[in-house]
A and B are shown apart, each in its own frame.
Chain A
């Protein structure tokens, strides 16, 4: 149990376009999901906390108009990178909390974004 999927796994786009990344909890309901960004050889950087049915809470320095987060259901959260630029190229990874499993974060497989 506690499987999280993330789609797409890879995306290459042109500068100025928007990219949507989906995060789904497949076998449990997740009232809270998290979005992280990871640069090469570094730890995870929390971008925002996404709560079902309410606005996301963004970490300091993360532009909420740039990184739109929607958590419309208990099993789906989406991150949209709007007007992407090369500096947005990164590895984006989502996670969901399973309250049943000791409030453990279970992670999706991640999305590698390359903006040309």
Chain B
């Protein structure tokens, strides 16, 4: 079974509008982390935002916010005021384990390609 699911292979959004990229996850580990990365055509993976499983508030970083619904196991990325430079592939990822256990396992979703229209 997929541990990280991104159901939208592609999305379009008009410039200056907000867009939500979906991500659901599955884990039995009580301590985990959720990440979003942006991969433009150049190939580099750019870290956008992080949400810890014990965090009470949704994470925000500039125009990026993470809509964390723990009971539903979803961690959707919201990009506000879309810009042309936001066009890229976006990956949701989950970390199981961590410093306490000494082991790290990161799982990536299949990605969503976002195209911002002028």
* Residues of A near any B CB (own CB < 8 A): 2, 32, 34, 38, 42-44, 46, 49, 91, 93, 95, 97, 99, 101-110, 112
Mostly, the A contact residues are: strand
Interface footprint category on B: 20 to 34
Most buried by B among A34, A49, A107: A107
Cα(A46)–Cα(B108), bound, Å: 9
Q: Is the CB of B45 within 8 A of A104?
A: no
* CB atoms of A44 and B43 under 8 A apart: no
Taking a contact as CB atoms under 8 Å apart, the answer to whether B45 and A93 are in contact is yes
B94 to chain A, nearest CB (A): 11
Q: Kindly supply a per-residue 1/0 record for chain B positions 68-97, scoring 1 wherever the CB is within 8 Å of any chain A CB and 0 otherwise.
A: 000000000000000000000001010100
A93 and B45 CA atoms in complex are apart in Å by 9
Chain B residues with CB under 8 Å of chain A are: 33, 35, 37, 42-47, 50, 52, 91, 93, 95, 98-99, 104, 106, 108-111
Do B43 and A109 touch across chains, with their CB atoms under 8 A apart? yes
Q: Chain B nearest CB: distance from A102 CB in Å? A: 5
Chain A residue contacts of B52, Cβ below 8 A: 102
In the A-B complex, list the 6 residue pairs whose CB atoms are closest, starting with the nearest: A107-B45, A110-B43, A109-B44, A43-B110, A43-B108, A44-B108
Using CB atoms, name the residue of chain A closest to B93. A105
